[in-house]
Amino acid sequence: MKLIFRVMVGVVILGITATYMISSGKWQDSVLDPISYTLGHEAADAVDTNVRDGLKAGEQFVADAQNASVTDLIDQLGTIELPSAERHPKYDREMFGDGWQFNTVDGCSTRETVLIRDLEQVVMRDDRKCKVLSGVLVDDPYSGKTINFNSVENPMTVQIDHIVPLSVAWQMGAWEWDSNTRVQFANDLDNLIAADGPTNGSKGDRTPERWMPKSESFHCEYAASYTAITSKYNLAMEQPVREKLTAVLEQC
């Protein structure tokens, strides 16, 4: 499925700068030494450990995804708990952080990272570091259309969508998380996808039993992603959502 390809591309984009610098011997001089000079050896060691652990985790995620099957995903759905009747605070977008995070390795925001991953023929702006000027979204996963994107002329033509909406995650358990976990979820590339703006707007925060992409060819990947991210974060899932995802996956 395309899911595996997108995940693999995402891992490559996030890791390509660090991997290149480590393998070329520039990692110490260009990254660790300046950090050590300004923040101390402990800070540099922490950055080095976190980046290397992150690369290993990404490789493991791809390996696990490659071994997954439809049967595995359906079985996974069966392990997801139903939501409790416990009352929770009102949803507030700010509880998931103030906008997109910036990658500490290359300085790119999560939005720009997703655009670079999902668009083709990407052109970067000369006047701003890590800013996508234009690109082509081929076979948009939500509408099936091919969309020409230009961040100056019409930045909302392509939007970045949370497959599992933040408000849904909040209701299904994220209200109990600490702030760091919520920010991590909001910026998790596994749960993000570039999509046609108007079609994404029609989705809003609706769950799969009330909304599926217009492009039927993407239904399997969408159901698989929704299931995987829910399980990854130990979120709950309402029974109608489980039934819809199961029905979709059984046809894949």
Taking the CA of residue 55 as centre, how many other CA atoms within 13 Å lie in the half-sphere pointing to its CB?
17
The pTM for the full model equals 0.73
- CB within 8 A of 167, min separation 6: which ones? 91, 93, 205
Q: What is the predicted pLDDT for the residue at 23? A: 47
Q: How far apart (Å, rounded) are the C-alpha atoms in residues 210 and 240? A: 9
Average pLDDT per block of 10 residues along the chain, 252 residues long:
45 46 55 57 61 56 58 92 89 94 85 96 86 96 96 94 98 96 97 96 96 95 96 96 96 91
Number of C-beta neighbours around residue 27 at 10 A: 19
pLDDT value at position 90?
94
**pLDDT tens digits, 178-222:** 999 999 999 999 999 999 999 999 999 999 999 999 999 999 999
Neighbours of 90 (CB within 10 A): 7
Q: What is the pLDDT of residue 30?
A: 59
224-240 per-position pLDDT tens digit? 999 999 999 999 999 99
The pLDDT value recorded for residue 128 is: 75
Residue 33 has φ and ψ, to the nearest 5°, of -60, -45
Tokens found for residue 127 = 């006047």
Residue 14 confidence (pLDDT): 44
Radius of gyration of the chain (CA): 19
- Specify the pLDDT at position 107: 81
236 phi/psi in degrees, rounded to 5: -85, 170
What's residue 45's pLDDT?
Answer: 63
